[in-house]
Amino acid sequence: MTTGNVFEIRRFGLEESAAMTAISADVGWNQPESEIREIIVRSGKYLRGAFCDGELVGTAASYPYPDGNFAYVNEVIVSSAWRKRGVATRLLEALLPLTLADYPVLRLCATALGRPIYEKVGFVPFGTLSFGEFAGGEADENGISQFTEADLAAAVELDAANFGARRPEVLAKLFASASGAAWKLVRGGEPAGFILRASMNWFLQCRDAEAFTALLTYAASRVPGVPALIREEHVKLLPAPFDEHFKLTLMQYGENPPAPEPSFGGFLPDIG
């Protein structure tokens, strides 16, 4: 256990991937080290760690989305032994100016524990996500078929319309790991939505409520118990019970007004 009281904030790299993974596990997240290494590489210069006597005790990162001109703040995690010592605030105070110098808007998804810290440094809420398990329902298979690699290009564009930036690498990786649990909905010859199985929940993007409920219900009929992360106001549209586990708050920092309402989907945000 770290016993010092003084810590420094600095950039770090892949040499700290094991330590960062350990902190993630300490706070109850289930990220494998392979994912942590991807986060470190993807964040690049937008990555800061808190160190005490050379030991990593906290982290904060930003994911840039250049074509959307914004960045997502995530991996704001602090070892349990270092809670309530101002570590997270200091990390954010170092990371935010660095990221804002290149991107005018920052977004994040805050846990209940993290929200007061983000509000303290200037983030404002603009929505709520509910994470829970969708029990299923009577599925309508009309227009639904297997999602294939040929559908990735259209899925990237639909995702970009909902999320605000293109994420082709993310979708390609999710599709590769979906193990067949991937479907699309086509209406009038045009893609209306898609759903892919991810490691922790499902990645769902749709054009409207009809496609949203159809794909989520269909997935739950094929794979019992679908963990979904969806907008709170969309929960009431589900045709079957939704066992909610926790909520996340969508927050934004920057001169622009809060982000507009996204289209229907259960996306994979960067959780802080």
191: in domain: yes
State the virtual CA torsion across 262, 62, 36, 79 in degrees, nearest 10. Answer: -110
pLDDT higher than 70, residue 235: yes
The answer to whether the beta carbons of residues 78 and 49 sit under 8 Å apart is no
111: in domain: no
- Among 63, 85, 103, the domain-final residue is 103
120: in domain: no
The answer to whether the beta carbons of residues 213 and 142 sit under 8 Å apart is no
Task: Provide the domain count of the chain.
Answer: 2
Q: Where are the alpha helices (DSSP H) in the chain?
A: 17-26, 33-43, 87-100, 115-120, 152-163, 168-177, 209-222, 232-235
24, amino acid identity: S
Residues 158 and 234 occupy one common structural domain: yes
Domain holding 97, by residue range, is 8-103
257: in domain: yes
Residues 97 and 136 occupy one common structural domain: no
Percent of the chain with pLDDT over 90: 56
Residues 88 and 185 occupy one common structural domain: no
113: in domain: no
144: in domain: yes
82: in domain: yes
pLDDT in tens, 45-62: 999 999 999 999 999 999
CATH number for the domain that contains residue 85: 3.40.630.30
CATH number for the domain that contains residue 158: 3.40.630.90
The predicted structure's pLDDT at residue 272: 39
Closest of 126, 131, 164 to residue 249, by C-alpha = 126
pLDDT higher than 90, residue 41: yes
The predicted structure's pLDDT at residue 241: 87
Confidence tier at 33 by pLDDT (50, 70, 90): very high
Q: Residue 20, Cα to own-chain centre: how many angstroms?
A: 18
The answer to whether the beta carbons of residues 29 and 59 sit under 8 Å apart is no
Q: Residue 261, Cα to own-chain centre: how many angstroms?
A: 16
124: in domain: no
- Give the bridge partners for 204, in sequence order: 195, 266
Residues 75 and 142 occupy one common structural domain: no
72, amino acid identity: Y
**pTM exceeds cut of 0.85:** yes
- Among 103, 119, 142, the domain-final residue is 103
